[in-house]
A and B are shown apart, each in its own frame.
Chain A
């Protein structure tokens, strides 16, 4: 389609000036070719748009709310993006967050564990879920879409079933009166303010995860492996990339981030509803794709996914700040997301054409 037609133009141009292909790119073109620049411009466009139409959006105090909204998506969108660069999906990522929160609170409540001990056990549970996804993918050779779809349903059932068995109810019991809760809250759900902007814990965790993931993806050998596995796993294996190991590590990273997000939810809201999290897996994937990840793998970036999460949160909250008719909320959301992604794709096309 349109991508094909643009890729067919370069030969004509390059035959006219052959040295153009090998000539070093200018700084501006280099910048434009960064995978996250499109997402950045998309985010700027959304931001400017809402700055114009929504007066509450202009209030500096509200930046904290938007960043928090972005962080709760971004913490998971970044590992999901890495996974997508590696060519795989994780449909269980949304409910895995709930599983982690439930694991900690149910274990603490049922066995009267110290809260911190239950938090560590929840980390083990989350990593095991990631390990299960990775190993199942490697062993069965089924598409990850199917493997993690299975995990998605299994976890949904386990979340509800275990909660019912342990508490007799469908939500975890309030554990805020248990030992260690307050110190854990100080780690996973603290809140501070810079000037008049409220900063919540996930914002910092989100930024840290983004930076680590970006550095690993761009600067490390493991990052190259991820691109290689996602681009062509057979070719990657042929040149000695441990394809299976890379996949397992990526799923473990998703598990770790699910734990972090789950602990935040638990300590922010004191209880966890067993049915929560369904549908969030798509929001994580959406954030990654809006941020420039390809569904086919081999291309994308961690910073892009974070910008995707920011675009999603700005749009979602911007519509509220603008005070538009809420009946049309989802329609506005859909239009804005497509427009932001179009900006992203357009920039990439322009950059590739240079």
Chain B
């Protein structure tokens, strides 16, 4: 660097530092959350440290899976478990991650069976290597046959049907079901469940990785078909985008959704989103880890050979207050 550029850099840095002192916001931000954050410590088990791998089909940066992971982390902290979290949305790659966990000789494996056929081989290998396996979130109809110890999740089709039932009861005639990941079995099941109850349900595929393109896609659908009275999204952040679309299209449709996120809880409270189907992702992660710990330390099986259903439950204006205080830390 020449002296002139160095002097210029110094000047810029100084300006930024001075400005940063002067340019503070007295509202919101980290301070507000930290003031509200409570201590979250529930002691720790004295059992020997064990290692458990949690392998999901989450894409990077997914709010839903972040909640699952937090549940697993909290259980791990309590049970004196070393948690190794890995994820890949691609079936073959997810299987590879499970194989790596087997290679590392972990004490237990918790995994999602969203793509059961891709996972079958590694599940078999894991059980042969005497590593217990539990399943969560996806694979309700397959886990038992594969020899998995227990399952924590919801039946996506039943959840869809219940959402459809509720929409029907509220007078829905022409809902649109927004799928943000093409080819995802679970998301398709949800829309199929809704369609069983409300046959006029239409599908709309959007690009879940680009809010602006989701916004215009949903807007255009609302403008094309003015009869649409319900927009059902399949993820918390997408519902918030749909709220924007609704105002862009000057539509009177109601926005409802599957799954929650921190901001979504606030939107339900504010009335822009009517309700959310909650499958308690935190519980799925938490119970999966806790089950493996119980199995190792006491030989217990949660659910007694049956699937443990963590949902569906509805969060609406009536009960949002009970959930809200937990949402701030990203656990609901």
Complex formed: what's the CA distance from A198 to B28 in Å? 31
User: Which of B29-37, B76-84, B93-101 contacts the other chain?
Assistant: B29-37
Stretch at the interface among B106-114, B135-143, B161-169, B211-219: B211-219
Chain A contacts for B248, CB-based, 8 A: 64-65, 68, 198
Q: Please state if B23 and A113 are interface contacts (CB–CB under 8 Å).
A: yes
- Chain A residues positioned under 8 Å from B261 (CB to CB): 171
**Is A296 interfacial (CB 8 A cutoff)?**
no
- What is the interface of chain A mostly: helix, strand, loop, or mixed? helix
Residues of chain B within 8 A of A7, CB atoms compared: none
How many Cβ-Cβ contacts under 8 Å join chain A to chain B? Answer: 171
Interchain CB contact under 8 A, A173 and B217: no
Task: Say whether A171 contacts B237, CB under 8 Å.
Answer: yes
Select the residue from A114, A163, A323 with max chain B CB neighbours within 10 A: A114
Beta-carbon nearest neighbor of A264 in chain B: B212
Determine the main DSSP class of B at the interface with A.
helix
Partner among B16, B31, B213 whose Cβ is within 8 Å of the Cβ of A112: B31
**How far apart are B219's CB and chain A's nearest CB, in angstroms?**
5
Q: Which residue of A lies closest to B224 (CB)?
A: A56
Q: Within 8 Å of chain B (Cβ to Cβ): is A117? A: yes
User: Does B60 lie within 8 Å of A156, measured CB to CB?
Assistant: yes
For residue B63, CB closer than 8 A to chain A, the reply is yes
Contact with A along B22-49 (1 / 0, CB 8 A): 0111111111110000000000000000
- B224 and A72 form a contact (CB under 8 A): no
Q: Which residue of A lies closest to B12 (CB)?
A: A124
Interface size of B in residues (CB-CB distance below 8 Å): 53
CB distance from A72 to the nearest CB of B (A): 4
B240 and A117 within 8 A (CB): no
- Complex formed: what's the CA distance from A27 to B165 in Å? 66
Closest to B26 in A: A179
A117 touching B19, Cβ below 8 Å: yes
Given A275-B60, A317-B220, A323-B224, are A269 and B29 neighbors across the interface (CB < 8 Å)?
no
Complex Cα distance A329/B202, Å? Answer: 14
17 CB contacts below 8 A, A to B, read: A59-B223, A65-B220, A69-B212, A111-B29, A113-B24, A156-B60, A159-B61, A169-B330, A170-B63, A174-B262, A177-B28, A177-B32, A179-B27, A270-B263, A274-B60, A280-B209, A320-B204
> CB within 8 Å of A: which residues of B?
16, 19-20, 23-33, 59-63, 65-66, 182, 202-205, 207, 209-213, 215-217, 219-221, 223-225, 237, 240-241, 244, 248-249, 261-263, 266, 329-330
Residues of A whose CB lies within 8 Å of any CB of B are 54, 56, 59, 61-62, 64-66, 68-69, 72, 108-117, 121, 124, 156, 159-160, 163, 167-171, 173-180, 198, 264-265, 268-271, 273-280, 313, 316-317, 320-323, 326-327, 329-330
